[in-house]
Amino acid sequence: MARLIRTEKEVEGRFEEVWLVVEEDALDQWPEGPREVVGRDALRKDARERILGQARYTADVQLPGMLHAAILRSPLAHARVERIDLSAAAAMPGVHAVLGPGDVRGLEQEAGFNGAPIAAVAADTFAHAQRAARAIEIEWEELEVVLDPEEAVRRELLTTEPATYQRGELERGLAEADVVVEGTYRTSVVLHNSMETHQAVCQWIGDMLEVYISTQYVWGVRSAVADAFGLPGDKVRVICEYMGGGFGSKNDPGEYTLVAAELSRRTGRPVRCALTRREENTAAGNRNATIQKLIVGAKSDGTICALGGEFINAVGWSGWSAGTDGPMQMLYACDNVRTVRYGAKINTPPMKAFRAPGFVEGTFGLECLIDELAAKLGVDPLELRRKNYASSNDDKPFSSKNLMACYDLAQEQWDRRHEVRARSTGTWKHGVGMASQIWYGGGGPPSYAWIRIGSDGRAQVVTAMQDIGTGTRTAMAQIAAEELGFPLDRVEVSLGDSSRGPYATLSAGSSTVPSVGPAVRAAAADAKRQLIEIAAQRYHLEERVIGIENGSVVSADGNLNTPVEKLVEVLEDAQILGKGARGPNPTGMSVLTFGIHVVEVAVDVETGEVRVDRVYAAHDVGRIINTMGARSQVEGGIIQGIGHTLSEQRLHDPDTGRILTTTLDAYRMPTAADVPEIVCAFVDKPDEHLTNLGSKGLGEPPIVPIAAAIGNAIRDATGADVHELPISREEMLRALEAATKKERRGAPAAV
């Protein structure tokens, strides 16, 4: 039964109150433990077509008569277009149309960063378009360039009001403390660099606009594009069945989609607008740099009694200020906490959500700080975490929290650190470090799914969701198969088309499984009910004694056992249609995910080389749907995290603000040779308060604690405190030298 409710919706740490129509979620969760299909390894449903290169990505869409667009971007970090002359460009060979500032949303008069989109050209080939874009004549009025986030904060150049948080009294807590540790931690700008760049192909067909786009949010793009062009939503069809990575950067249409749509409208031809890799490294979004000034106070028995922090997010020209302060507020049971968080508005390309925005950066600062506290107290770092375990989030209970179980799983790994250290030889020092993980991942309404079963006894899940590589397609098939009682190979999933299927939430913020999953289960339950009704009629039994197991209709007394195809063959063209919706989240509870990483590193103390040898990752994300897919997510998140920990950094020219690391030889992501041994464990306990599945998302948790765990392992191995990401050779050598100086002055040894 549908009802209208007001509920809190969280995505990537940002909360909003929304009005939603929801169906009552009446299904009981499955009991804990692996089921027939759910909670087991499932081969990825779309693996083969991706591996074979048959999957059609937006980059592969080639429509007859398609034109190519190139965007002219500002070379300057802050300037206004005083005069622009498009005529030379328009006259160039192959050019069909040219757009200037204001001709479409996204092309602006004022450029607030190097790479800001100003104008665009559609031409027969991309080379023609690029050449023409270069022929656009612009006179710039150069404006003041602010690049230093601390200066921006001083001058109150902010993207948003500062966010303050307080519980208890920080000063009192510090006064009570026996030990106080302070430190400043910095993280650098890191780029998503999905393998498929941001791009869209737009085509008008009558008064309908068709948008092929590499996106994480088919419905969101539909709404945004419809809004930009003054169209009703159903006149925009957004298609994305396969996309080459997003990690948070592809949650909106960006300027390139609107540019392609407008150029298509003007030329009457399909238009592709695809970012080059250099544009991708410049203006496609980033995880912003942070500066964190942190303080922690504790009693000598290890009770943390004070936590404080000033957090500066170097947001850029626009964007939002992510929850870098979140871990400090939520991870530990400390009575006195005060944080203030600034979003610095500077002339650098705007941030975009990147896999646990804010919490990756904040966990690095906090978990390194806590480890430094442990060292000063002479307390085991894992013991210190156990001692300060938070049983609630302020006054809000957790819907489920099994972080202690994660600690227990990791204890054996942690206990081996003496063995690991003993491997030190010559200039190579070995050490072990840990870090806790906290993040969101509960998803929320709305999301909907339909299930269609035909006379062949096969089920098709239909919903306009995305599979951005996380394996959500397979997870949905598993959920449907489990609820229906079908084998997995009789269930297919149709996704990625806003004209085919109901609304599904964006694939970001670890939302898809916890948001769309319950809707799929509800739809499957609806379809199963109808199958059982049909069986009751056909076989003259009561509905309550009928079940479906492994694709067969069975009766409780065992007399009936017939394949589903046999049951439904009478349908012919008739179909069973089930529908389901995601219900609301539990009210008054914090829905969060938890985990721990224990990392073994080796450091060459003479050359500063850091080698991550092994990562043990234990995560609590409620019920795991696909154990194989889950492991891949953990490995992937850890490897991506090793990138921002050791080698990834976007650099700009300090004078002009121009981006310097625009190519993948300069912006260095991990290769196959940079991968440690990774061992995953899951608590895999359903969150009993959360939906009919008890599942949370896993896309982000694995990337959250890895940098801190590596930093702490380095400290364990060498006594060196790294306070900056990436831990480049330069930073490692600096920290080693500082440690040597500290050692000569007699500092406490590792515990």
Partner 1 sequence: MELLQPSSVDDLDGGLFLHGGTEVVPLVRDGILSGERLVDVRGLVPRGVHDGTIGAGTTLAELEVEPAIPDALREACRLAASPQLRNMGSLGGNLLQSTRCWYWRLKYPCRLHGGDRCFAREGEHREHAIFANDFCASAHPSDVAAALLALNARVHTTQRELALFELYRVPDEGDRDVVRLQPGELILELEVPTPDASVYLKAMDRKKWSFPQVGVAAARFGGETRIALAGVAPIPWLLDSPAALDAATPLPRTEWKTPLARALVQRALAALQ
Partner 2 sequence: MSDLRLSVNGHEYEIRGARVGISLAQLLREELGLTGTKIACNEGHCGACTVQIDGVPTLSCITLAHTVRGDITTIEGLRDHPLVDAFVRADAVQCGFCTPGQVVSAAALVAANPSPTTDEIRHHMAGNICRCGTYPRIEEAILHWQD
* Residues at the contact surface with partner 2, assessed by CB under 8 A: 43-44, 46-48, 50-57, 59-60, 62, 192-197, 242-245, 247, 276-277, 468-471, 628-629, 631-632, 635-640, 663-665, 669-673, 675, 678
Q: Which two tokens stand for residue 159?
A: 């993207």
Regarding 668 and contact with partner 1 (CB under 8 A), the answer is yes
| The only residue of 44, 78, 430, 652 in contact with partner 1, by rule CB under 8 A | 652
Of 651, 652, 645, 650, give the one whose Cα is nearest residue 670.
Answer: 645
Q: Is 114 in the site for partner 1 (CB under 8 A)?
A: no
Q: By CB under 8 A, is residue 458 in contact with partner 1?
A: no
List the one residue from 87, 300, 537, 663 that touches partner 1 (CB under 8 A).
Answer: 663
Does the protein bind partner 1 through residue 157 (CB under 8 A)? Answer: no
Contact between 590 and partner 1 per CB under 8 A: no
Q: Rounded to whole angstroms, how far apart are CA atoms 163 and 325?
A: 9
17 binds partner 1 (CB under 8 A): no
537 interacts with partner 1 by CB under 8 A: no
Candidate list 608, 686, 699, 701; residue touching partner 1; CB under 8 A: 608
CA–CA separation, 182 vs 373, rounded Å? 9
Burial class (CB in 10 A: 0-12, 13-18, 19+), 207: exposed
Least distance in angstroms from the C-beta of 62 to partner 2? 7
Q: With respect to partner 1, which residue has the nearer C-beta, 134 or 566? A: 134
* Contact call for residue 425 and partner 1 (CB under 8 A): no
Closest CB 41 distance from partner 2, rounded Å: 8
Which C-beta is closer to partner 1: that of 14 or that of 277?
Answer: 277
**Strand duo 14-23 + 2-11: pairing:** antiparallel
637 sits near partner 1 (criterion: CB under 8 A):
no
Determine, following the binding rule CB under 8 A, whether residue 60 of this chain makes contact with partner 1: no
Residue 105 touches partner 1, criterion: CB under 8 A: no
Which residues face 22 on adjacent strands? 3
Which residue number, 213 or 534, has a Cβ lying nearer to partner 2? 213
Rg (the chain; Cα; Å): 27
Minimum distance from CB of 277 to partner 2 (Å)?
Answer: 4
In the complex, minimum distance from the CB of residue 609 to partner 1, in angstroms, rounded to a whole number: 7
In the three-class reduction of DSSP (H, G, I as helix; E, B as strand; rest coil), residue 410 is classed as: helix
Quick one: which of 432, 519, 634, 646 contacts partner 1 (CB under 8 A)? 646
Phi, psi of 656 (to 5 degrees): -105, -15
Which tokens hold the place of 113? 């960063």
DSSP for 371-432 reads HHHHHHHT--HHHHHHHTB-SEETTEEBS---HHHHHHHHHHHHHTHHHHHHT-BTTEEEEE
Binder to partner 1 among 50, 80, 172, 729 (CB under 8 A)?
729
Report the SS3 class of residue 403: helix
Please tell me the total number of residues recorded for the chain in this structure. 751
Question: Measuring CA to CA, which residue among 682, 615, 620, 679 is closest to residue 642?
Answer: 615
Tokens, residue 288 = 């912003």
> DSSP letters of 325-351?
THHHHHSB--S-EEEEEEEEE-SSPPP
Is-contact 449 523, C-beta < 8 A?
Answer: yes
By CB under 8 A, which span of 186-194, 473-481, 586-594, 671-679 interacts with partner 1? 671-679
Interface with partner 1 (CB under 8 A), residue from 458, 609, 613, 685: 609
Which residues are within 8 A (CB) of 569 and not within 5 positions of it... i.e. 6 or more apart? 455, 457
Q: Which of 301, 395, 557, 655 binds partner 1 (CB under 8 A)?
A: 655
Which of partner 1, partner 2, none interacts with 640 (beta carbon under 5 to 8 A by kind)?
A: partner 2
Which one, of 750, 735, 711, lies nearest residue 367 by Cα? 711
Residue 337: how many CB atoms within 10 A of its CB?
A: 23
- 187 binds, options partner 2, partner 1, none, Cβ within 5 to 8 A by partner type: none
State both tokens at 204.
């008008």
Q: Whole-number minimum distance, CB 564 to partner 1, in Å?
A: 50
Shortest spacing between CB 194 and partner 1, in angstroms: 19
Among 280, 401, 728, 739, the residue binding partner 1 under the rule CB under 8 A is 728
Least CB distance from residue 666 to partner 1, whole Å? 6
Figure out which of the listed residues 137, 653, 677, 743 binds partner 1, where binding follows CB under 8 A. 653
Burial 70-91 (b: 16+ CB within 10 A, else e): bbbbbebbbbbbeebebeebee
Please tell me what DSSP assigns to residue 232: -
Residues 547 to 576: which contact partner 1 by CB under 8 A?
Answer: none
The two beta strands, 337-345 and 304-316, are parallel
Q: Report if residue 665 touches partner 1, rule: CB under 8 A.
A: yes
Whether residue 593 contacts residue 438, with contact meaning beta carbons closer than 8 Å, is answered with: yes
**Partner whose footprint covers residue 730, from partner 1, partner 2, none (CB < 5 to 8 Å by kind):** partner 1
End-to-end CA distance of the chain: 58
Closest approach, Cβ 190 to partner 1, in A, equals 14
Report what 316 binds from partner 2, partner 1, none; CB cut-off 5-8 Å by kind: none
The sign of the CA dihedral 50, 54, 60, 63 is: negative
Instruction: Pick between residue 62 and residue 166 the one whose CB is nearest to partner 2.
Output: 62
Q: Count H helices, E strands: the chain?
A: 19, 30
Stretch that binds partner 1, among 208-216, 259-267, 613-621, 651-659 (CB under 8 A): 651-659
Smallest gap, in angstroms, from Cβ of residue 529 to partner 2? 34
Residue 40 falls in which region: left (phi positive, over 0), alpha (psi -120 to 50) or beta: beta
Whose Cβ is closer to partner 1: residue 187's or residue 728's? Answer: 728
Give yes or no for a contact between 107 and 118, defined as CB atoms under 8 angstroms apart: yes
Which two structure tokens, joined as six digits, stand for 116? Answer: 């800001």
Which of 276, 530 has the CB closer to partner 2? 276
Asked if residue 404 binds partner 1 (CB under 8 A), the reply is no
Q: Does 55 bind partner 1 (CB under 8 A)?
A: no
Q: Could you list the residues that contact partner 1 (CB under 8 A)?
A: 606-609, 611, 646-647, 651-655, 658, 660-663, 665-666, 668, 670-674, 728-730, 733-734
